[in-house]
């Protein structure tokens, strides 16, 4: 039996995209395999690890739990687009400076999830940062440096010291 193919039209990182996609293909596989946007990673493939995090219409989602066809008409943003726009340059710099990444596999998802927390402004407590990031797994860093980096950026954005 041949796979059902559906045409979708969406924007990805501000660019219009029109593609024929298998109905069963996940959003993260579509982004990686069809569009070559490999910054979104595939870990658990069942919504646990957060490696596949992307934004759809401004809200972070698990790219492995959403089908590409569900994004017809949507605005999708990946780590490539958000990074190129400079939106998270301070977070990226803080992750680098504080060794908040090692292998980097979790990092795109961590950055997008952290940005979702910080875009509302204010300085969350370390507990709030940990809770917000609790759906993103990191096998390398032990999380302390990640929390340090996110906290530092929150303070810096508020105008305090790093
Ligand atoms: S790959 Fe999607 S949550 Fe793990
Ligand atoms: S830096 Fe390796 S999984 Fe987080």
- Ligand 2 within 6 A of CB of 105: yes
Distance 144 CA to ligand 1 centre (A): 22
Pairing of strands 5-12, 75-77: parallel
Element (H or E) spanning 15, and its range? strand 15-22
Q: Can you spell out the DSSP letters for 40-94?
A: S--SSSSSSS-TTEEEETTEEEETTTSBGGGGTT-EEE-HHHHHHTTTTHHHHHH
Give the relative orientation of helices 144-158 and 107-118 as an angle to the nearest 10 degrees. 40
- Ligand 2 within 6 A of CB of 146: no
pLDDT at 66 over 50: yes
CA distance 6 to 10: 13
Among the listed residues 160, 158, 161, 152, the one whose alpha carbon sits nearest the alpha carbon of residue 91: 152
Question: What is the band of 159 on the pLDDT scale with cuts at 50, 70, 90?
Answer: confident
Q: ∠ at Cα 14 (9, 20), nearest 5°?
A: 25
pLDDT at residue number 2: 75
pLDDT at residue number 1: 63
Distance 107 CA to ligand 1 centre (A): 13
Each residue's pLDDT tens digit, 81-120: 999 999 999 999 999 999 999 999 999 999 999 999 999 8
Distance 64 CA to ligand 1 centre (A): 5
Percent of the chain with pLDDT over 70: 98
pTM: 0.96
Rounded to the nearest integer, the mean pLDDT of the chain is 96
């Amino acid at each position: 039996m041949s796979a059902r193919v559906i045409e979708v039209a969406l924007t990805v990182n501000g660019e219009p995209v029109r593609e024929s996609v298998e109905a069963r293909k996940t959003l993260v596989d579509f982004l990686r395999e069809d569009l070559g946007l490999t910054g979104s990673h595939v870990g658990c493939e069942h919504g646990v690890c957060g490696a596949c995090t992307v934004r759809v219409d401004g809200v972070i989602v698990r790219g492995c739990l959403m089908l590409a066809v569900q994004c017809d008409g949507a605005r999708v943003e990946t780590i490539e687009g958000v990074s190129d726009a400079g939106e998270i340059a301070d977070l990226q710099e803080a992750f680098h400076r504080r060794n908040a990444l090692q292998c980097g596999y979790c990092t795109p998802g961590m950055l997008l999830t952290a940005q979702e927390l910080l875009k509302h402004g204010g300085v969350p407590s370390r507990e709030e940062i940990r809770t917000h990031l609790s759906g993103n797994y990191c096998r390398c860093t032990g999380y302390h440096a990640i929390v340090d980096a996110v906290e530092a950026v929150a303070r810096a954005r508020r105008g305090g010291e790093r």
